[in-house]
Amino acid sequence: MANQKLGIKQPEPKTPTDLRKALKAAPLVEAVWKSLTPLARWDFIIWINQTKVPETRRHRIEVAISKLTAGKRRPCCFTIVPAALYKALETNSKAKAQWKGLGPVARRDFVTWIDSTTQTETTKLRAVKACVLLAAGKQRP
């Protein structure tokens, strides 16, 4: 919802074959999948693709199906974009334009960097620094 408020349109992710088969096997879950935002689908796909071990990948697909069945709209390990970043983007039009053009992995890198501190003040400073980097054309923190 917050991405819609900022006018950010996420590209549609390509669903991996093994995940697509699992979704087709459970039509109600497939309907939930289709109701997710592209960013939420990206989160599940990135989470599943992060593993190189086939057994772990199968397990993550099972967990994803279970979460979707339970009405969850995100995998466990992803967080929402911090409010400090949204506020900072609103004050920097160049950074906001660059943010709109970033792919989900680059966005996730910025969010992870901002969220990797427990200090509120550091979070705010990193959000501002992210805007400086974005305005300079950087795609990674």
Residue 6 has pLDDT above 60, yes or no: no
Neighbours of 46 (CB within 10 A): 16
Residue 3 has pLDDT above 80, yes or no: no
Residue 63 has pLDDT above 90, yes or no: yes
| DSSP H helical ranges for the chain | 2-5, 17-24, 27-35, 38-49, 54-69, 83-90, 93-101, 104-115, 120-135
Predicted pLDDT of residue 21: 97
Mean pLDDT of 102-109: 82
Question: pLDDT band at residue 9, thresholds of 50, 70 and 90?
Answer: low
What is the residue extent of each domain of the chain?
10-69, 83-135
- Residues contacting 109, CB < 8 A, separation 6+: 140, 141
Question: pLDDT band at residue 7, thresholds of 50, 70 and 90?
Answer: low
Mean pLDDT of 20-41: 92
Q: What is the pTM of this model?
A: 0.53
Predicted pLDDT of residue 124: 92
Mean pLDDT of 22-36: 94
